[in-house]
Amino acid sequence: MSFKPHGIITPVLTALDEQENFSEENYKKFIDHLIRSGVHGIFSLGTNGEFYAFNAEEKLKIIRAAVEAVDGRVPVYAGTGCVTTKETVELSKEVEAMGGIDCLSVISPYFTAIKQDDLYRHYKAVATAVKLPVLLYNIPARTGNNIDYKTVAKLAQFDNVIGIKDSSGNFDNTLKYIENTNPRLSVLAGSDSLILWTLKAGGDGAISGCSNVFPELMASIYNYFKAGDFEKANEAQKKIRPFRNVMQMGNPNSVVKRAAQLKGFNVGPARAPSNIESKEIDNALLEVFKLYD
């Protein structure tokens, strides 16, 4: 399996209209903007894409639109993780049959408390059901389940398991993936505050929610690092802190979507009840934007 996730990959916001229906036209325009701004990949239906808010029919329509918008310019990642193994396998197979997808991103099952053996069997079922590369997605604060590095190491026996995104926010957890699993696996930061440190430790990039709002800045962290300019990479990394602080004032991915709206992109609201209507957050975002002018 030769596919290697790398760089700054945007978990693209899913554009909606005011009635909270998918806006394909605005979605494609936003994806085009991100690619022109230099991101290295597009991830349809990640957490920032509100994967949890759509039914299977909507998900397939959204992913298909992403493939069309990207048009082969950068790799396309598609989120197919669901609560049950059966549903995850079914959606993954449908997305694979669609064509145009470079990699499946599969979040660990959520809401239900499961053990590491259950996680192993879940991902084994997905990896053996499809031929596409599979990127594991660890975000225990949202799912309640942390994918242990020993489980990741065990899953590396499947050639199409090609890496993991770590959104635990625990850098030691990320280091365990890098240091104690198969070196062919890509390890991607899921917390934007840890992008540079993940790269320095041997990781391959990040799936960056902030790149929806500041795509050039986030891509520059990776680009400067690859060019060997650690000082500029660190400057770029530090610049994102004020925005990250505002993200903590509400549901983080809803704040990101509101920020994109305030910057003039027609991505619409988040689906209720996650939509943000807060003058305090709006004012904080507008103040942060002044720092980047």
How far apart, in whole angstroms, are the C-alpha atoms of residue 289 and residue 103? 33
- Cα-based torsion angle of the residue sequence 60, 61, 65, 68 in order, rounded to the nearest 10 degrees: 70
Annotated catalytic residue: which of 154, 165, 176, 257? 165
Q: Are 133 and 99 in contact (CB under 8 A)?
A: no
Annotated catalytic residue: which of 77, 123, 137, 177? 137
Active-site residue flag, 165: yes
Q: Are 206 and 190 in contact (CB under 8 A)?
A: yes
Residue identified by tokens 């039914």 is: 55
How far apart, in whole angstroms, are the C-alpha atoms of residue 203 and residue 187? 5
Query: Residue 162 — φ and ψ, nearest 5°?
Result: -115, 0
Alpha helices in the chain (DSSP H): 24-36, 56-70, 85-98, 116-129, 140-143, 149-155, 171-180, 195-200, 215-226, 230-239, 241-247, 252-262, 279-290
What are the tokens at 217?
A: 């800045």
Identify the sign of the CA torsion 261, 264, 267, 268: positive
| Residue positions annotated with a catalytic role | 137, 165
